[in-house]
Amino acid sequence: MWRGTVEHAVSMTSTPLHSPELHAHAGFRRILHSPAIGLFFLSPLIAEFFLGDFPIVLLPLIVPLSLWYGGCALGIRETVRRRHLGWPSILLLAAAFAVVEEGVLTMSLFNPDYAHLHLLASGYIPALGIGVPWTVFVLTLHIGWSIATPIALIESSQGARAVQPWLRRRGAVCTAVAVVVGAVIVFATNYPAYGHFLASPAQVGTCLLIAAVLVAVALLGPSAVSRRSGQVERGERSSRKTLSPWILFALTLIGGAVFELGRRADGAALATSLMLIAIVAVLTLLGIASRWVGWSSHHRFAVASALLFTYSWNAFVSTATSGSADALAWISDVIYLLAAVAIAWRCRPRVR
């Protein structure tokens, strides 16, 4: 009797199995656990915060920053995966993103007094209006860290879904809108903040042309043909066993250290040479190792996590050498390091 009474009471008060409330709750949980949402916010987090540019108290800025950074990272990833392309296409589209951001939106490639840092003083080429070390440095930051690293980290945690599209039509449209709004925000905030500088029409036009060529090559060029589904064809693989993920992690860390050393080197020639050596060495290593037997998501994760931690240790070095470090800067660096460790742990591949 009591059992029947209790069951009746529960049936009268409990939420129905197919109620709108349960559907809404399930939908909200899916959104929170969506890899697309993770990538949308991880890209600006790495790009602007883990580098040490913003203290932890400015973390709310991740919301407007995610429109441009996260929207572009997600859009690049979805475009490549929907067309069954691979990492060469991701890197080329990331390069187009970098050229547009720094040449068209922030215009730091051409602004001699951007943030009052005299970024173009070293290796300045008057005919182009750029400083070679700064151009190499900032474009590489966006390609490697703003776009490639967050994509690789999130995909590493997705198993079989790593190379599958994550967005439906509505999500793709929302992403495109976010990119446009984000671009407007980036320009509108940088233009008054850094001297109302405008690059010449020729400079802006050249950047847009370069970006268009990069997009065309990414989607239609040889890399689009040879990297279907992001995998090397079986016939292209060498019989040699690939490197351990830990060795790849260590070598990428070394490459990141050489790159950062080049950034701080005296003299444009030395700085540019060291950065280019690091870039070529890491890309060559990945190009060769990915063709060897045994290459897996663990190796991609090793490279991405090494790049992530390169930003982490570099933030401490930047704080120590800034000359104006305060307690907030150090606390922020520690929090970002702990966050990087947590993100790497969460994104690690689950199945070998």
Is the pLDDT at 240 greater than 70? The verdict is yes
Kindly indicate the confidence band of residue 25, based on its pLDDT and cuts at 50, 70 and 90. very low
pLDDT value, residue 3: 43
The proportion of the chain whose per-residue pLDDT surpasses 70, expressed as a percent, equals 86
Which one, of 235, 352, 252, lies nearest residue 291 by Cα? Answer: 235
* Mean pLDDT value across residues 217-223: 85
Contact between 64 and 186 under an 8 Å Cβ cutoff? The reply is no
Is the pLDDT at 227 greater than 80? The verdict is no
pLDDT value, residue 160: 85
pLDDT value, residue 351: 54
Give the C-alpha distances (Å, rounded to integers) separating 211 from 7, 172, 218.
65, 21, 10
Is the pLDDT at 101 greater than 70? The verdict is yes
**What tens digit of pLDDT does each residue of 137-178 get?**
999 999 999 999 999 999 999 988 999 999 999 999 999 999
Kindly indicate the confidence band of residue 30, based on its pLDDT and cuts at 50, 70 and 90. low
Tokens of 60: 């709310």
Q: Which residues in the chain belong to E strands, given as ranges?
A: 124-125, 130-131, 238-241, 292-293
Radius of gyration of the chain from its Cα atoms, rounded to whole angstroms: 23
Kindly indicate the confidence band of residue 350, based on its pLDDT and cuts at 50, 70 and 90. confident
Question: Strand, helix or coil at 237?
Answer: coil
Kindly indicate the confidence band of residue 12, based on its pLDDT and cuts at 50, 70 and 90. very low
What is the C-alpha separation between 314 and 256, in angstroms, rounded? 10
Place of tokens 């995998």: 231
Residue-wise burial string across 258-278, b where 16 or more C-beta atoms lie within 10 A, e elsewhere = bbbebbebeebeebbebbeeb
Kindly indicate the confidence band of residue 27, based on its pLDDT and cuts at 50, 70 and 90. very low
pLDDT value, residue 4: 46
* Mean pLDDT value across residues 334-343: 97
pLDDT value, residue 222: 74
Contact between 166 and 34 under an 8 Å Cβ cutoff? The reply is yes
Return phi, psi of residue 124, to 5°.
-70, 135
**What tens digit of pLDDT does each residue of 32-71 get?**
579 999 999 999 999 999 988 899 999 999 999 999 999 9
**What tens digit of pLDDT does each residue of 245-301 get?**
999 999 999 999 999 999 999 999 999 999 999 999 999 999 999 999 899 999 999
